[in-house]
Amino acid sequence: MRSAAHPKRTILVATDFSKPGKLVVPYAFKLALALNLRLTILHVVKAPPEFEQWSPAAHRSLHSLKTKALLELGRLIRLANENGLMADQKLLVGIPGDSILKVAHRSHIAFIVMGTHGKTGWDRLRLGSVAESTLRQAPCPVLTVRASVPPYPRQSAPVERSSLSGSNGLFCLFDGSASDRR
């Protein structure tokens, strides 16, 4: 699906294939349909920089991780194509936060969609959060979906476009101080 003849604006879906990581996929599809955007599905294999050159064993272990990730990516791409969306896959090795930001800096990325575990308190300090660091430094808007958010009904994504307009509203929060700065 690398038919990027002309650069089109793209949603960057960053996923780690965990539960919250996968939860964002239907949301991303929905938005891509409504906004007429392409999808780039990104997975970052977590490893120290230059890890591949360390030793043959490191290379091998990374290789198996990459293969697994590629399979998962392929599955998502297929799902996207079934929903009538154009999707690219991207597999990077490195530190997740940094790699996501690097991709996000390309000009055709409209916004980032990613899941977050939404940990608070002690867990938050211990684990840190990829989503958070992305959120703070991203050059574009970021949509985060928390693990506890009820999953979006997948089958209805293409059909019920107006389901969002029913009883539920899009909710805009206006941060007064933010406007003062402009």
Partner 1 sequence: MAALRTAVELAKRLNARMLLVHADEPSGSLRSDPLRIDELSQKRYAHQFQKIISASRGDEVITEKIVITGNPVKVILDQAKHQKSDLIVIGTQGRRGMKRLMLGSVAEAVVRRASCPVFTVRTQVRDPFNLTNGTRRSPPGSSTG
Binding site for partner 1 (CB under 8 A): 8-9, 24, 27, 31, 33-38, 80-86, 107, 110-111, 116, 118-120, 124, 131-132, 135-146, 148-149, 158, 161-162, 164-165, 167-179, 181-182
- Of 35 and 71, which has the nearer Cβ to partner 1? 35
Q: Are 8 and 106 in contact (CB under 8 A)?
A: no
Minimum CB separation of residue 13 from partner 1 in Å reads 13
- Of 57 and 172, which has the nearer Cβ to partner 1? 172
- Of 58 and 110, which has the nearer Cβ to partner 1? 110
Q: Are 41 and 16 in contact (CB under 8 A)?
A: no
- Of 67 and 81, which has the nearer Cβ to partner 1? 81
How far is residue 24's CA from residue 167's CA, in Å, rounded to a whole number? 22
Q: Are 81 and 87 in contact (CB under 8 A)?
A: yes
How far is residue 145's CA from residue 26's CA, in Å, rounded to a whole number? 11
The two three-digit tokens of residue 98, written as one number: 């940094």
Minimum CB separation of residue 65 from partner 1 in Å reads 28
Minimum CB separation of residue 163 from partner 1 in Å reads 9
The two three-digit tokens of residue 122, written as one number: 């002690």
